[in-house]
């Protein structure tokens, strides 16, 4: 099939594009390169530099005729979204409305959307399944939830079938090092730990060690980015097979603490990764773990690579390579 991957030059987008290419689809990436990287564009895909705020540009591209769109273009720093909601309102909300309208006008049937565990907010029980109440604790999560609601209406009114994939903590890199772009100014834990291992930063700040968790640091559900990417191809297959929209969690199924992550990284990299404990980060829950049972039932998806060892070692290979190239 012909797939348009919007935001396909970013960290997750590049892995998603790679997965569709590997599955034999033809891929066009549309990305404004604001955080996406030229380095993440593959030789066997078409690339169009463009912005989701450019409705005419979107229509022009979509009229080439695509079977499905994957939409990953968004700002994603939860903390920043609380300080600059207007940036998230315009790009994440208005940009997605442009995509929806352009897709409906171009007769595109299927849309796969990168939603987020941030739609749930503070957990009321664990693991979180899709029946868990949605109550975002930050503006970023609110934009993802509102977009899911738009999709519900466009499904009913325009016949656009969607898969909303609620990512938990994406981490790791392609196992064959085909994606090599490093995230710039990362805010997420593993890239920060990797930067410390490479000597690109002094140490890692551990945001609180007094949570109600076994070692006091925050526990999260890390899902290997290739597992996430496989979730997108599985979602498309499911949309085509069933003709019904779906909303599912994608998580690795293991709760890993910040200190456990640092410890694994020390062992795997052989580097003495320094850390210091600082204040808790506002809005951080103690623990988030996912039930991905619905994804298994509906799409036959399960995480294959989301063990700590694979996540950390696949990241380290890419960071080490990039360090060697820089030297």
Catalytic residues: 140
Question: Of the two residues 55 and 207, which places its CB atom closer to ligand WQD in the complex?
Answer: 207
Which segments within 124-245 are labelled E, that is strand?
161-167, 169-171, 204-207, 219-224
The answer to whether 136 and 119 have CB atoms below 8 angstroms apart is yes
The nearest distance, CB 307 to ligand WQD, in angstroms, is 17
Q: Phi first, then psi: what are they for 173, rounded to 5°? A: -135, 160
Among 15, 18, 220, 294, binds ligand WQD (CB under 6 A): 220
Among 100, 128, 163, 192, binds ligand WQD (CB under 6 A): 192
* Span of 42-50, 63-71, 186-194, 293-301 interacting with ligand WQD by CB under 6 A: 186-194
Question: Rounded to whole angstroms, how far apart are CA atoms 156 and 242?
Answer: 16
Among 78, 111, 137, 308, binds ligand WQD (CB under 6 A): 78
Contacts of 107 (CB under 8 A, 6+ apart): none
The nearest distance, CB 40 to ligand WQD, in angstroms, is 18
The nearest distance, CB 275 to ligand WQD, in angstroms, is 8
Q: Report the run of H or E that residue 30 belongs to, with start and end.
A: strand 26-31
What is the Cα 58 distance to its own chain's centre?
Answer: 22
The nearest distance, CB 135 to ligand WQD, in angstroms, is 13
Order of strands across the sheet with 255-257?
169-171, 219-224, 255-257
Give the footprint of ligand WQD on residues 235-294 (CB under 6 A): 258, 281, 284
Among 35, 98, 106, 169, binds ligand WQD (CB under 6 A): 169
Among 42, 55, 150, 207, binds ligand WQD (CB under 6 A): 207
Question: Of the two residues 185 and 324, which places its CB atom closer to ligand WQD in the complex?
Answer: 185
The angle subtended at Cα 194 by Cα 191 and Cα 195, nearest 5°, is 85
Contacts of 316 (CB under 8 A, 6+ apart): 194, 197, 265, 268, 269
* Interaction between residue 104 and ligand WQD (CB under 6 A): no
Among 117, 145, 234, 268, binds ligand WQD (CB under 6 A): 117
The answer to whether 245 and 161 have CB atoms below 8 angstroms apart is yes
Number of residues that bind ligand WQD (CB under 6 A): 20
Residues near ligand WQD (CB under 6 A) are 76, 78, 116-118, 167, 169, 187-189, 192, 204-207, 218, 220, 258, 281, 284
């Amino acid at each position: 099939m012909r797939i348009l991957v919007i935001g396909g030059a970013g960290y997750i987008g590049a892995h998603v594009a790679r997965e569709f290419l590997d599955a034999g689809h033809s891929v066009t990436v549309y990305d404004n390169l604001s955080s996406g990287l030229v380095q993440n564009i593959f030789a066997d895909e078409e690339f169009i530099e463009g912005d989701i705020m450019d409705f005419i540009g979107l229509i022009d591209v979509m009229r080439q005729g695509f079977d499905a769109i994957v939409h990953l273009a968004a700002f994603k720093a939860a903390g920043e979204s609380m300080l600059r909601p207007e940036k998230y309102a315009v790009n994440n909300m208005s940009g997605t409305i442009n995509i929806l309208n352009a897709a409906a006008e171009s007769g595109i049937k299927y849309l796969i959307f990168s939603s987020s565990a941030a739609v749930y907010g503070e957990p009321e029980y664990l693991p979180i399944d899709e029946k868990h109440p949605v109550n975002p604790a930050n503006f970023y999560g609110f934009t993802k939830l509102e977009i899911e609601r738009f999709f519900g209406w466009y499904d009913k009114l325009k016949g656009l079938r969607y898969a909303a994939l609620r990512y938990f903590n994406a981490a790791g890199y392609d196992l064959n090092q085909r994606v090599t772009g490093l995230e710039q100014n990362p805010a997420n834990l593993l890239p920060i730990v990797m930067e410390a291992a490479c000597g690109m930063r002094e140490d890692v700040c551990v945001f609180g060690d007094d949570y109600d968790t076994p070692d006091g640091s925050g526990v999260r559900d890390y899902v290997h980015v290739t597992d996430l990417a496989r979730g997108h191809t599985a979602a498309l297959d499911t949309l085509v097979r069933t003709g019904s929209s779906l909303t599912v969690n994608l998580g690795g199924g293991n709760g890993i603490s910040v200190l456990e992550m640092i410890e694994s990284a020390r062992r795997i990299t052989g580097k003495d990764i320094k850390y210091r404990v600082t204040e808790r980060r506002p809005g951080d829950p103690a623990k988030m773990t996912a039930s991905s049972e619905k994804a298994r039932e509906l799409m036959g998806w399960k995480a294959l690579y989301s063990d700590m060892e694979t996540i950390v070692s696949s990241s380290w290979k890419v960071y080490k390579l990039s360090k060697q190239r820089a030297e």
